[in-house]
């Protein structure tokens, strides 16, 4: 009974933080469970509620106070600008931001798994970042949209605008103009999936 109550409290705290495991949301078509998380502001959220990440990437302009040093967490500050529409991925400034972010994801030493993306609400900047990463991993657009819509008040038309920006460039490969090692990102997630499959129950 006590364990079940603790689990319920954990889930309630995660819901308030708009936290979720992207792999669990997309299973079996997305990344493995337990390596990619997303949420809103982390200021007053306990480490366990965040899924015990090893990397926390802040996408908002307000920087985070370094937390969870006892867990060896690495903090990255890679904010999207406030003075442009970040859903419009065709803009050069948005492309530059996503390029910088995905280059960080390609670097296993810089961003060890599990990785947590967050912004203020855990919906807009975080949603765009997750959509770009899932596009790199070959997740179908319909699935990417469905994952985005799991967030409260998520605007379908805006995530569709973001995906259109990738498509208009000729696909995700051409969108990043060879500035992001896409194969390294895919290899990281493939290796993580293989490790999970090989691990005992």
pLDDT digits (tens, 9 = 90+) for 132-183: 999 999 999 999 999 999 998 999 999 999 999 999 999 999 999 999 999 9
pLDDT at 2: 44
Gyration radius of the chain's alpha carbons: 16
32-83, pLDDT tens digit by residue?
999 999 999 998 889 999 999 999 999 999 888 888 989 999 999 999 999 8
pTM of the model: 0.92
Tell me the residue ranges of DSSP E strands in the chain.
20-21, 36-39, 55-58, 74-77, 115-118
Name which CATH class applies to 2-193.
alpha beta
pLDDT at 10: 72
Kindly list the distances between the CA atom of residue 154 and the CA atoms of 2, 147, 169, 178, 183, in Å, as whole numbers in the listed order: 34, 10, 24, 31, 30
- Counted residue by residue, the chain has a size of 201
Give the closest residue to 40 by CA, choosing from 146, 126, 129, 148. Answer: 126
pLDDT at 168: 98
């Amino acid at each position: 009974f006590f364990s079940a109550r603790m689990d319920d409290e954990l889930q309630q705290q995660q819901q308030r933080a708009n936290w979720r495991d992207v792999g669990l949301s997309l299973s079996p078509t997305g990344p493995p469970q337990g390596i990619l998380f997303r949420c809103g502001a982390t200021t007053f959220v306990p480490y366990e509620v965040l899924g015990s990440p090893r990397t926390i990437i802040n996408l908002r302009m307000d920087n985070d106070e370094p937390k969870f040093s006892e867990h060896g967490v690495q903090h990255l500050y890679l904010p999207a600008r406030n003075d442009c529409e970040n859903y419009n991925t065709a803009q050069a400034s948005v492309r530059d931001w996503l390029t910088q972010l995905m280059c960080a994801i390609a670097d296993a030493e810089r961003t060890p798994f599990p990785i947590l993306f967050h912004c203020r609400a855990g919906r807009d900047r975080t949603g765009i970042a997750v959509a770009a990463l899932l596009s790199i991993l070959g997740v179908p657009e319909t699935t990417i949209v469905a994952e985005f819509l799991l967030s409260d008040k998520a605007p379908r038309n805006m995530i569709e605008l973001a995906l259109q920006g990738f498509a208009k460039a000729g696909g995700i490969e051409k969108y990043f103009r060879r500035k992001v090692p896409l194969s390294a990102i895919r290899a990281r997630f493939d290796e993580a999936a293989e490790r999970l499959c090989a691990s005992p129950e």
